[in-house]
Amino acid sequence: MMSFDKDKLILVKALMALLIVADHLNFFLDLPWLKPARELGAPIVSVFFFISGFGLVRSYQSKGSAYLTSFPGRKFLRIVLPAVLALICYYLLLWNPERNYLDDWKNLVLYGTPILPFSWFAEAIVFFYLIYYFSFRFLNGKWKAAGLLAGTLVWMAVTILAGYDWCWWICSLSFPSGAFFAYKEKEIYTFCEARPYRYYALLGVLSILFVALYLPRNPYVWTLCYILIPTIVALIVARLPIGRLHGPVILFIAGISYEIYLCHGIPMELFRDRLPIESPLLFILAVYALTIVLAFTVHKASTLISKKICA
């Protein structure tokens, strides 16, 4: 029985969090064996956005309009508060009295230069959540999904015209794709399970389409690749019996995965600029260790603060 439920996503979230750190280590280390991870960044982000869109629609389907009642407060708090706390950690650990912090914010707005390293996705997911809220709160029927797509296209247009780096927009379509997958999930699974060959044929067609869209090496065409990648991942995960393939460590990493995304750039800059570590192996180990400590701290602090605010 195919499914794309929370139990299976635990392992996926943990692996993605660990691999995104490996991807960004390439900006700080020139190691041949680490370079393959450099190709994983955008696909991982596309899966992250896909899961976000999928999860929001599934929550709405199970809870109805009541889900939207507390959404603006609780959901945004879970996204924004950890980002703010991670930024505070960044400023404290890499304190520079000569730094112009107003320029940081100006560069973020004008040029899309994240203040917190590699944190652009946090701003993107906040915007996507806004799109979701207004679409599902004020639009009816099929217009909800149309609102998600239209809002995403607006986001892409604004970031492209503003001259932001392609990372800001190239994976954006994976968010409404995840929502569409949630709407059509049962139909997709029914189609795949009706005949044994259909599942593999569908994966084959999607893979061929991916190759055809990747070969032009045009970033605007690649935006469609990042619809296909998470869809393929979702179909594979839905078929695999990985729901129970996680122990305490995987559960722990998955539980702080969002904070790992936010915090992992901090130790990279710290151990390059302030506390230099020359050994590549020690650098990697130190980055992972401090990332997990920071992520856990931010997660715990944001949880406690959220409970007090929402009490």
Query: Are 210 and 225 a contacting pair, CB within 8 Å?
Result: yes
- SS3 of 289-311: the string is HHHHHHHHHHHHHHHHHHHHHHC
pLDDT tens figures, 179-212: 999 999 999 999 999 998 999 999 999 999 999 9
Indicate the pLDDT class of residue 214, thresholds 50, 70 and 90.
very high
Quote the CA–CA distance of 31 and 309 in Å, as a whole number.
Answer: 45
Give the whole-number percent of the chain exceeding pLDDT 90: 84
Any residues with CB less than 8 A from the CB of 36 and at least 6 apart, and which? none
Torsion of CA 95, 99, 102, 106, to 10 degrees: -110
Contact in structure between 222 and 214 (CB atoms under 8 Å): yes
Q: Contact 265/116 with Cβ under 8 angstroms?
A: yes
- What pLDDT score was predicted for residue 311? 62
CA dihedral 158, 159, 161, 167 (to 10 degrees): -150
Read off the pTM.
Answer: 0.95
Give the model's pLDDT for residue 100: 87
DSSP state of 276: -
